[in-house]
């Protein structure tokens, strides 16, 4: 199988490319990435010399670029997205451009080139906060911030192209991912690297918000399974099955980094902060998937990775990141 992976230089995308090249020796991968602040060529330096892998620098909103890269592939897997809720509160236009218009451009290319499959990677955040139980694929969408609204828009557009034009799309909606190569604006790498530097960990509100944590390699395996065995026009939730309050996560990171709880710095909550996410993963489990990495050991592995790869993350926490961090947390 020849794949076009969009956004493959990002966190989940780079881990997925590495997974595919390892799990499927006959597959080939074309990686189309704009290389925004969170897209990092260093994420895939270990596969650059693989003859089955090639890189194209481009934007999924550029129709010609997308068509040129997609010509002759068997499937498109779309990871390209703006994904950080905090940034969506101050830069919503870029989220709408990439997460909605970019999906439109991909759908048009898949339709025109008659590509057999488009797998669109989405998020559990489109369901909105849920006080009890877990969201199923049939539940209505209640996005509550520009990020989740833009992702919901992309999802609905993809499903509309399936229903109207028969474009063969499948959608995955995963819970919160963590693991190696995650840009350090997200809570796990931010708190791990701050702790390693003995820098305060800015914890929103009362710290009681709940997220279901999924190790990135388990998500990659699930996406790969849906790519090859999922049914056209269907949605598949992918949950880690391990719900944790943010304050508990924070204390566990401090324990694993041998740092004191006094590094926790409560800050004003962000606007519209969803209280709890939870998805029902029964449907994908029926395809034969289950997470293989228990949360505790996966978090320990992740902390160890950041500890051992300071040369990867430290350059990322300067320049643009430093300016954003000061704006985001300096006056809270």
Measuring CA to CA, which residue among 191, 199, 200, 328 is closest to residue 270? 328
Q: Find the catalytic residue in 59, 86, 124, 218.
A: 124
155 is catalytic: no
Q: Find the catalytic residue in 53, 147, 204, 306.
A: 147
Which residue carries 């063969």 as its tokens?
168
Q: Answer yes or no: are the C-beta atoms of 11 and 182 closer than 8 Å.
A: yes
What is the rounded (10 degree) CA torsion for 171, 172, 176, 179? -120
Q: Find the catalytic residue in 99, 125, 224, 243.
A: 125
Cα 175 to Cα 210: distance, rounded to the nearest angstrom = 11
Q: Answer yes or no: are the C-beta atoms of 174 and 123 closer than 8 Å.
A: yes
234 is catalytic: no
Measuring CA to CA, which residue among 212, 322, 192, 177 is closest to residue 254? 192
Collapsing DSSP to helix, strand or coil, 28 comes out as: strand
Measuring CA to CA, which residue among 254, 51, 201, 219 is closest to residue 119? 219
DSSP 186: S
Cα 238 to Cα 236: distance, rounded to the nearest angstrom = 6
147 is catalytic: yes
Q: Answer yes or no: are the C-beta atoms of 274 and 204 closer than 8 Å.
A: no
Cα 91 to Cα 242: distance, rounded to the nearest angstrom = 31
Cα 327 to Cα 196: distance, rounded to the nearest angstrom = 22
The CA angle 156-161-164, to the nearest 5 degrees, is 115
**Cβ neighbour number for residue 17 with a 10 Å cutoff:** 27
Could you give phi then psi for residue 195, rounded to 5 degrees? -60, -45
Which residues are tagged catalytic? Answer: 124-125, 147
């Amino acid at each position: 199988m020849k794949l076009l992976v969009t956004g493959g230089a990002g966190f989940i995308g780079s881990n997925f490319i590495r997974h595919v090249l390892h799990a499927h020796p006959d597959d080939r991968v074309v990686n189309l990435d704009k290389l925004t602040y969170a897209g990092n060529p260093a994420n895939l330096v270990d596969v650059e010399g693989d003859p089955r892998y090639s890189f194209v620098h481009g934007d999924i909103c550029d129709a010609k670029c997308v068509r040129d890269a997609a010509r002759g592939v068997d499937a498109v897997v779309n990871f390209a997205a703006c994904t950080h809720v905090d940034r969506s509160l101050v830069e919503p236009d870029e989220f709408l451009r990439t997460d909605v218009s970019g999906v439109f451009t991909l759908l048009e290319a898949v339709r025109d080139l008659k590509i057999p499959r488009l797998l669109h990677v989405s998020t559990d955040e489109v369901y909105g906060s849920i006080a009890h139980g877990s969201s199923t694929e049939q539940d209505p969408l209640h996005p509550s911030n520009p990020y989740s609204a833009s992702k919901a828009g992309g999802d609905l557009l993809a499903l509309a192209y399936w229903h109207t034009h028969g474009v063969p799309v499948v959608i995955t909606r995963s819970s919160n991912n963590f693991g190696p190569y995650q840009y350090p604006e997200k809570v796990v790498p931010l708190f791990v690297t701050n702790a390693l530097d003995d820098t305060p960990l800015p914890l929103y509100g009362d710290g009681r918000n709940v997220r279901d944590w999924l190790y990135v390699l388990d998500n990659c395996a699930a996406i790969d399974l849906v790519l090859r065995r999922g049914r056209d026009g269907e949605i598949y939730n992918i949950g880690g099955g391990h719900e944790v309050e943010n304050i508990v996560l924070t204390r566990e990171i401090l324990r694993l980094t041998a740092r004191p709880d006094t590094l926790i710095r409560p800050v004003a909550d962000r606007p519209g902060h969803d209280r709890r996410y939870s998805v029902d993963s029964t449907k994908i489990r029926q395809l034969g998937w289950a997470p293989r990495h228990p949360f505790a050991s996966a978090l320990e592995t992740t902390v160890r990775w950041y500890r051992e790869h300071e040369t990867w993350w430290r350059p990322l926490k300067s320049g643009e990141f430093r300016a954003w961090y000061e704006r985001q947390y300096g006056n809270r």
